[in-house]
Amino acid sequence: MADPMKIRAANKDGVTEVKILMSHEMETGQRKDASGAIVPAHFISEVTATWNGKVVLQGEFGPAVSKNPYLAFKFKGGAKGEKVTVSWVDNKGDKRTDEGTIA
Amino acid sequence: MSRFSKLACVALIGALGATSALAAGKGAAPAANPAFEGLGRAATPAEIRAWDIDVRPDFKGLPKGQGSVEQGQDVWEAKCATCHGTFGESNEVFTPIVGGTTADDIKTGHVKNLQPGSSFPQRTTLMKVATLSTLWDYINRAMPWTAPKSLKTDEVYAVLAYILNLGEIVPADFVLSDANIAEVQKRMPNRNGMTTDHGLWPGKGIGTGKPDVKAVACMSNCKTEVKIGSTLPDYAETAHGNLAEQNRTIGATRGKDINAAKGQPAAAAEKPSANAQAHQLAQASGCTACHGLTNKVVGPGFNEVAAKYKGKGDAEGKLVAKVKQGGAGVWGQIPMPPQSLKDEEIKSLVQWILSGAPAK
């Protein structure tokens, strides 16, 4: 199980801005370790953010995304105290879901 | 300056130094040095308090106060996140504050990512810093960059608590205070990573090592002149603007003065024109740290701003408001923090920028 994501969400003038810092190795599968063997690819492949059960962002990540990815987006709606739920799935089937409260 | 006044200056500084040290040590009236009779005066307790703000590794000098992670988050988002990123992770303006430390590092007090063979690309603040007092002192005296010493004591505690929480050194409901800061010090990831045995510490008693530099005189086949192996081609010299103007004027690093290379002396001898005054104001107010005159640095170059708003009647009012309140999104995602300048100063700066920001 990976480390938790850090999630901040803030509502301003009816628009909620969500900032997410995910904790993930994001191995490209192109790197070699000290002994010359290829480090197997290990990266987040899908990210989904929901608010009130409604999907507000869905994205496909790939090996080009950096280690410990940072993601920020805005959506219309959201109110103080409501929850934004973010989850990812990586290419090895690992999953992680975390929740942030809108400030 | 005459020889006499130079001497007097030195004597005055000497006298002030001696008296303040005495006053700080004993709190008693300083003894007059007969050699400097009539020179200088004892520093007042208020002056000493304003000057004596350092916090030491044993937390001597730390003012009483407290701040929670949650309060720290509010201060952080308002004053720090513009440069350091919401999670202290940003690598855009400065190197990251948070990252590279693990729960294991907190246990051992040595950061594994600093060891040889580590693949971690950078050294973050939390990886390097050994003493919590250093962070407290630095935030207190130097942050935010645009308005140092503007944070209240409790805000410094709060911001520090927030940083420590980002590094997973303290939990999210933690309240950092003068009473428990020594406990937190025992969880610093690199607390055992500081070495003093390298001869770089002043004075006796801290470390015994010698610096690992050896200046050995060359005795045979010595080079007679320095040969410069490579230089920037002429067309690339201005790639980042005039580096001499962008650097601080203290210390050894200056950057080559391109204007001087072109045969235009950087400092004009005559009375500064209105443009030169505006340019000075921009430098003194920290604008040129992020905006170049003719190039993009972090924010857009002033010439780019002038070009964008050329011929638009409401540009001046709009930009004055932008400078005052800060903004983001027009030129990219890195926001500009609100600037606390006088209204007429902002106005003169905006007029100067819209006129194309001539250096003089």
ipTM, two decimals: 0.75
Q: How far apart are CA A1 and CA B168, in angstroms?
A: 17
pLDDT band of residue B3 (cuts 50, 70, 90) is very low
Per the CB < 8 A criterion, the answer to whether A76 and A37 are in contact is: no
B133-167: pLDDT as tens digits: 999 999 999 988 888 899 999 999 999 999 999 88
Q: Which domains does chain B have, with CATH numbers?
A: 3-51 (no CATH), 66-185 (1.10.760.10), 243-248+269-354 (1.10.760.10)
- Taking residues B49-53, report their average pLDDT: 89
Sign of CA dihedral B146, B151, B155, B158: positive
Instruction: Supply φ then ψ for residue A51, to 5 degrees.
Output: -135, 125
Taking one residue from A and the other from B, the number of pairs with CB-CB distance under 8 angstroms is 19
Using alpha carbons only, how large is chain B's radius of gyration in Å? Answer: 25
Q: What is the overall mean pLDDT for chain B?
A: 80
Q: Look at A8 and B86 and tell me if their CB atoms are within 8 Å.
A: yes
**B52 and chain A in contact, CB less than 8 A:** no
Asked if the structure places residue A83 within a domain, the reply is yes
| Owning domain of residue A64 | 6-32+39-101
Say how many domains are in chain A. Answer: 1
What token pair was written down for B319? Answer: 């930009």
Q: How far apart are CA B319 and CA B285, in angstroms?
A: 16
Shortest distance between the Cα of A21 and any Cα of chain B, in A, equals: 7
**B171 and chain A in contact, CB less than 8 A:** no
Identify the DSSP state of B99. Answer: -
B247-280: pLDDT as tens digits: 777 777 677 777 775 655 544 445 667 788 888 8
A15-26: pLDDT as tens digits: 999 999 998 889
Asked if the structure places residue A1 within a domain, the reply is no
**A8 and chain B in contact, CB less than 8 A:** yes
Residue of B nearest to A73 (CA): B333
What was the pLDDT predicted at B209? 67
Q: How far apart are CA A67 and CA A72, in angstroms?
A: 16
What was the pLDDT predicted at B208? 66
Of B77, B86, B99, the CB nearest to A68: B99
Contacts of A34 in chain B (CB under 8 A): 117
Among B62, B83, B98, B188, smallest CA distance to B143 is for: B83
Beta bridge partners of A102: A9
Asked if the structure places residue A76 within a domain, the reply is yes
In this prediction the pTM is 0.61
- Taking residues B194-216, report their average pLDDT: 71
Residue of A nearest to B118 (CA): A34
**A89 and chain B in contact, CB less than 8 A:** no
Angle at the Cα of B134 (from B132 to B136), degrees rounded to 5? 75
CATH number at residue A13: 2.60.40.10
